[in-house]
Amino acid sequence: MRRRWMLPACVISLVLLADQLIKYTVKTNLCLRESVEITPWFQIFFTENEGMAFGMDFIGTAFLTIFRLLAVSVFLRLLAKAVRRGLPAGLLACISLIVAGAAGNIIDNSFYGLVFSESTPFQTATLVPFGEGYGSFLAGRVVDMFYFPLFSWPDWMPLVGGDTFFGAVFNFADACISCGAVALLLFYPRYLHASGGGVADATSEEPTENTPA
Beta bridge mates, 127 = 116
- Please say if 163 is a catalytic residue: no
Alpha carbon 48 to chain centroid, angstroms: 14
Task: In whole angstroms, give the CA distance from residue 180 to residue 176.
Answer: 6
Angstrom CA distances, 135 to 69, 180, 189, stand at 20, 31, 41
Catalytic member of 144, 155, 163, 201:
144
The single residue of 19, 57, 108, 174 carrying the catalytic annotation is 174
Alpha carbons 177 and 97: distance in angstroms, whole number: 6
- Edge-to-edge strands of the sheet including 42-49? 35-39, 42-49, 142-147, 169-170
Name every residue whose Cβ is closer than 8 Å to that of residue 160 and which is 6 or more positions away in sequence: 153
Cα separations in angstroms, 127 against 67, 105, 173:
27, 18, 21
Active site residue 144: yes
Please, where are the H alpha helices in 119-190? 172-187
Q: Tell me which residues are annotated as active site.
A: 144, 174
